């Protein structure tokens, strides 16, 4: 089971590219309501460990920040070996 500290380290790494926090804030504002500026500030507080993320926010951030999967063609068979 992963710990909160491990999750936070992974999130910090994903948040490094410029503009990422703003994008996440916009998505959270649309999904959960509120102002993107307030979300951006809230995310910074979480990343700086001034505040702890709720379980709902952890799940949303995992979905938002997850790397995109490469699409596999429908007719391609995956190898089990």
pLDDT for 68: 73
Question: What value does the mean pLDDT take over residues 3-13?
Answer: 93
Give the domain range for residue 37.
4-12+19-65
Structural domain contains residue 71: no
Is the model's pLDDT at 40 over the cut of 70? yes
pLDDT tens digits, 46-78? 999 999 999 999 999 999 988 777 666 665 666
Question: What value does the mean pLDDT take over residues 31-49?
Answer: 95
SS (H, E, C) 5-61: HHHHHHHHHHCCCCCHHHHHHHHHHHHHCCCHHHHHHHHHHHHCCCCCCCHHHHHHH
Number of domains in the chain: 1
Structural domain contains residue 78: no
Structural domain contains residue 79: no
d(C-alpha 63, C-alpha 51), whole Å? 20
């Amino acid at each position: 089971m992963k710990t909160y500290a491990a999750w936070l380290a992974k999130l910090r790494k994903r948040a490094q590219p410029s503009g990422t926090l703003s994008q996440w804030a916009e998505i959270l504002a649309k999904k959960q309501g509120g102002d993107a500026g307030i979300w951006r500030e809230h995310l910074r507080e979480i990343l700086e460990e001034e505040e702890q993320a709720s379980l709902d926010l952890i799940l949303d951030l995992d979905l938002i920040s997850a790397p995109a999967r490469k699409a596999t063609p429908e007719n391609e068979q995956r190898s089990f070996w």
